[in-house]
Amino acid sequence: MRFRFYLMTAMSCYYVLLSAQQKACYDIIPQPLNVEEKTGEAFVINAQTSVYCDREGLSREADFLVEYIKHKTGIQLVKSARKEKSNQIQLSVKNEKNANMIWPQQSGEDYKLTVDKNIICIEGNGSAGVFYGIQSLRKSLPVAKGTVELSPVVITDSPRFVYRGMHLDCSRHFFDIEFVKEYIDILAFHNMNVFHWHLSDDQGWRIEMKRHPRLTEIGAWRSGTVLGHNSDLDDSIPHGGFYTQEQAREIVRYAQERHITVMPEIDLPGHTKAVLASYPELGCTGGPYEVGHRWGVYADVLCMGNPKCYDLVRDIIDELTDIFPSKYIHIGGDETPTVRWEACPKCNAIDRKGMTYQGYFTHQIVPYLEAKGRRAIGWDEILYTGADTNTAIMSWRGSDPGAEAAAKGHDVVMAPTSHCYFDYQQSKDVIHEPDNSDGGYIPVDKVYSLDPVPAKVKDETRKHILGVQANAWAEHLRTTGMVEYMTLPRMAALSEVAWTQPEKKDYKDFVRRVTRLTEDYESYHWQYAKHLWPERRNNQALE
Ligand code: ACM
Ligand code: ZN
């Protein structure tokens, strides 16, 4: 008898849990432009709610919505071909703007999300806008099984910047395509629209090149990795891997569906030890070279006086542009020592026409890229070695190079080490941190405080600041969990820097909203740093 009583109580609790009317909350990240809460009855998402889209082109968006709602509530919505008068979520495109994916002309990202008791309506001025409206709806829902009440609201929203980027270094440590897809999911969740894929560096070449197979046969593998921060010890554990062209195309498609442009980077002419290990004749000394084990900057770089280097780079551009539709291709350009060039007879023999060695190199490859209808972007060193204004600048050594570049007429992406290097530690309490940081200190509030348009940028050149990006350099990120830990929740702060108008930003309020956002992180088992929530940290001493 008692057993039956307990069983019935447990069953009814279970039933209440299952059927509990959860409530949506519009305290989301990034903070939208305008959230107008209305009075009136709530819309209820339940098992009878349907999803309608006004065109075939929104079918993938509708699928995402169904998937997200199933994940959060357990409710399986049905897609309907009929427009209903009630209990329906309707997706449509209104006042269509050029909604193609070619950044920086990207537009069509604005949306309006209206909830009343009968209908939830998401109107975008492109499918991207519909996608972002869906992201806002998704983030408004609680992570809880059962039906959800949504109080009436009108949200109108538009991003501050056309370029909202996250980088991932897949050279220093290789991450498989399953993780790259998960990373893209994380980007989409934070309204990011550019995935900067760092595909080559001294420690590994990561993309199949059909015309130059040794780049992956040799260049994708190193025989060991230095321990710690360039100690004298090597782990002697082989590390490597690469993406086939087919896999890279799969990533492009995956990202496109999520309105993210994949911008590949091949870092040239420095950071090329993996290239030199594959083709030693391309270096000034002829080698021998090995794929890098140590971090930092190597003196060995491509020989500027060897025509074969330019042939190789042109071939790489041919294959890259075939795989990646991104308007911009990142050509690297950072941290390139000149010592080998200065001592090399072949380099000395070229007529640089007054240009620096690196400027000469940039002028050889950029026109080739442009003849294919693409544009080049490079790290800010290329500004000082002689890039033309048609080349965009990624400002990493602070925001000043970006401000200077904008004043000269270059398009600019701000990614300053001061705020945007997510390989830097998030806490001064390093003893309790995983051994994965690059030394600097960038807590969440520091990321949040960034204005990508520095005061010194004059009004007439502001249009050149395309947006902002954070970098996840992976020298010390050996696992995918470490990548997640270093990027979350800082990516949430970045997403507000990139999306939200400055006058709407409020750090205290952000902390309240990001606390709620972590329920989503946990539901997806994304690792995240818990410094904002000391009570969640696992810092109990072992007995
Ligand atoms: C860089 O961090 N070397 C661009
Ligand atoms: Zn040389």
Summarize pLDDT for 273-288 with one digit per residue, the tens: 999 999 999 999 999 9
| Atom of ligand 1 minimally distant from the CA of 421 | 2
CB 220 within 8 A of CB 241: yes
- Cα–Cα–Cα angle for 256, 198, 467, nearest 5°? 65
Mean pLDDT along residues 106-115? 89
- pLDDT reading at 11 higher than 60: no
Interval 489-509 mean pLDDT = 98
pLDDT at residue 7, as a whole number: 45
Q: How far is the CA of 281 from the centre of ligand 2 (A)?
A: 10
* Residue 482: predicted pLDDT: 96
- Do residues 465 and 412 make contact, with C-beta atoms less than 8 angstroms apart? yes
SS (H, E, C) 243-263: ECHHHHHHHHHHHHHCCCEEE
Sign of the Cα torsion 251, 252, 256, 261 reads: positive
Contacts of residue 291, Cβ cutoff 8 Å, sequence gap at least 6 = 202, 203, 204, 218, 219, 221, 222, 223, 240, 273, 274, 277
Among the ranges given (16-30, 138-152, 412-426, 489-503), the one the predictor scored with the smallest mean pLDDT:
16-30
Residue 146 pLDDT? 96
Q: Cβ(422) to ligand 1 under 6 A?
A: no
Beta-carbon contacts of residue 391 (< 8 Å; ≥ 6 apart):
362, 366, 375, 376, 377, 378, 382, 410
Q: What is the pLDDT of residues 448-496, one digit of tens each?
A: 999 999 999 988 899 999 999 999 999 999 999 999 999 999 999 999 9
Residue nearest to atom 2 of ligand 1 (CA): 396
Give the number of the atom of ligand 1 that is nearest the alpha carbon of residue 335. Answer: 3
CATH number of 22-157: 3.30.379.10
Q: What is the pLDDT of residues 241-269, one digit of tens each?
A: 999 999 999 999 999 999 999 999 999 99
Q: Does residue 105 carry a pLDDT above 50?
A: no
**Local confidence band at 540 (pLDDT 50, 70, 90 cut-offs):** low
| C-alpha torsion sign, points 396, 397, 400, 406 | negative
Give residue 537's pLDDT. 86
| Mean pLDDT within 439-456 | 95
In 3D space, the residue among 171, 182, 179 whose CA is nearest the CA of residue 207 turns out to be: 171
Contact 220, 184 (CB under 8 A): no
What is d(CA 31, CA 499) in angstroms, rounded to the nearest whole number? 8
Cβ atoms of 166 and 470 within 8 Å: the answer is yes
Residues 357-409 pLDDT 10s: 999 999 999 999 999 999 999 999 999 998 999 999 999 999 999 999 999 99
Q: Is 335 in the pocket of ligand 1 (CB under 6 A)?
A: yes
Looking at the CA of 340, name the nearest ligand: 2
Alpha-carbon distances, residue 385 vs 346, 361, 408, 479 (angstroms): 20, 10, 14, 36
| Average pLDDT value for residue range 309-321 | 98
Assess whether the C-beta atom of 398 lies below 6 angstroms from ligand 1: no
pLDDT at 5: 42
Q: How would residue 137 be classed by pLDDT, with cut points 50, 70 and 90?
A: very high
Q: Over 80: is that where the pLDDT of 41 sits?
A: yes
* Atom number in ligand 1 closest to CA 471: 2
Residues 464 and 409: beta-carbon distance below 8 Å: yes
Instruction: Give the residue ranges of DSSP H helices in 35-75.
Output: 59-73
Assess whether pLDDT exceeds 70 at residue 303: yes
By the 8 A CB rule, do 121 and 114 touch?
Answer: yes
Lowest-pLDDT range, 209-213, 329-333, 435-439?
435-439
Q: What is the structure's pLDDT at 104? A: 46
The mean pLDDT value for 289-313 works out to 98
Cβ atoms within 10 Å of 444's Cβ, excluding its own: 22
pLDDT band at residue 98 using 50, 70 and 90 as cut-offs:
low
CA distance 313 to 220: 17
Beta bridge partners of 27: none
Q: How confident is the model at residue 429 (pLDDT cuts 50, 70, 90)?
A: confident
Q: Which percentage of the chain shows pLDDT scores above 90?
A: 87
Report d(CA 441, CA 427) in Å as an integer.
7
Instruction: List the one residue out of 73, 57, 77 whose CA is nearest residue 65.
Output: 77
Q: Which of 301, 293, 294 is closest to 271 using CA atoms?
A: 301
More confident residue, 107 or 523: 523
CA distance 57 to 389: 37
Q: Do 348 and 285 form a contact (C-beta atoms < 8 A)?
A: no
pLDDT of residue 56: 87
Domain ranges across the chain:
22-157, 163-271+287-302+323-337+358-367+374-536
For the domain 163-271+287-302+323-337+358-367+374-536, what is the CATH superfamily, name and number?
A: Glycosidases (3.20.20.80)
Q: Which of 266, 334, 395 to mutate to test the pocket of ligand 1 (most atoms within 8 A of CB)?
A: 334
CB atoms within 10 A of CB 240: 19
How would you class 534 by CB atoms within 10 Å of its CB: exposed for 0-12, middle for 13-18, buried for 19 or more? exposed
Confidence (pLDDT) at 14? 42
Q: Is 240 helix (H, G, I), strand (E, B) or coil?
A: strand
Q: Which residue has the tokens 């983030």?
A: 139
> Do β-strands 34-37 and 153-157 pair in parallel, antiparallel, or remain unpaired?
antiparallel
